[in-house]
Chains A and B, each alone.
Chain A
């Protein structure tokens, strides 16, 4: 993977830039020590590393603004970082960049149950947003797997989803307003605790823009009343295709489960070896969760199991207690970690129309065979957001490259059947070069023109999202 050459001019001015940042920020908010900078050299896509020129940890919108003003004047690229959990290299620094972390912006600014919103600083973790309101019976719906660690700022950058967005939508459907610092340091407010935009939907544009249009420092988020209860059912099948068909039939039936999760034999086996929750011996399983009162749950699960039975399942396991529900979910929630025990893996994020699941699952298996690599599938089936896990050996020369080539083929397959390259992880550096599989030159040009408006100098997270060659002229 290629990154642009760092600017020798910027690097030659490092001392002055750091000095200006130190003058604008509190004592401990600027990091330039080589050892300390190691913490910021990569995100969740750990195969690629590069320490930034320096890192800053501002504690307020005003301090973020001061940093941006200085970097703008000095012509220094800024790489924003939430909690660094990106799986796409969204927070990967360049050697000539100032890495701007929002980890110190964690406060709750306003909680309003009558109007059903919470306003938080953007470095607050996803789970702790719910943590701030759950004692009063509310929650924040988007729940990415990394929710214990990931920051709202990163959720906005990548338009994060999670298992429960089948019912509640992703970040863009739950974000009401932001305070954002522009590339030149100007502070703007977009949206607020009311619905929709009075002019152009700039909030929708910013969400999912991977930190390339501004630095979000505060967010107004929609919170919802917690349902009375929730319960999963586990259904096991002897073929992945049939499991895929069952998903489509449930969706079509009109029942709206909050989550439909899928695991195949490889990930089931890995999970069993890891936590041993007693999943059935089968080719594929679905975990389907519904919400409501006891009677509503029973009604919905009855309808779901009736549909499942038409697909001749190996087993249907309804949870009868909170402990059983927890066991059903435990294997799924720890599946990624379990796969890591087998080998190194690369996690894809292609999304497809739900009715294409049977075909795509079959084709992924064939592609894996062609490359001689194993692929595990564990993903959010209800909304077609696949997470193929390609196993490879990082110590074996050539294996990573082979894995990346297979990954690209799988993502192109997702696009071919009407889907997209990334559902919730973002493009980052990882999928930058295959954007052309989904978009024409004009499609990409107009997106880059949007960045021109927000960030004319292309100083914000510049080497991401767009193919390097396509953005070269603008970055130089």
Chain B
């Protein structure tokens, strides 16, 4: 069957248009001088100025980044421990239960996780008087619990791919299990730890649902701020904020692409080296 290139290209264009026209129009309208989001009133950068002088946005961004850094780091530590345990200890009492409980938040609706976290914090507050007020701490704790699952999954699958005998070799050469973990296991799975951390970081950074349940007075993360502003109507300064976010994400993706490209080229060079060594 002969495929029609015109048809394929049309489909492709429609697909891309569907994804990117909204984002593009948002970026264009962020330079709109008009107060109304849908009426073009000439070019202006005044919404960016408004945004940058807005202390609320800066504070929300700072809070979001702080929460994301702490929760991603804690989630990586706990998730790595769970992932390594699941991969290395094939038989222990309650293993199935453990593995089920660890991955349950992955399929649990976020609303449920949010409500139950909220109830838990309220009850805990009544029993032991902590946390007295919800905010930074409770959001961070909730983020750790649900982003840990992603790290666990990434680390677990990496551990299953890893040759077990590498760890045995280190043990055989005189290292105790703790040293083996430090010298061999962690360095070998470090790419998985890094991608798990990044995953946890992004999930925490843009979470709305769970954050809105576990937040308290005064703790407004960036997604919560956007959400509450949008409820009052889309204003051009939100467009400006979203545009900056898209540019930041695009920049990070571009850097990752360059790094990956470089790693790939190095891998090819190594292969050539090994081939020459063979000859």
Q: Are the chains A and B members of one assembly? A: no
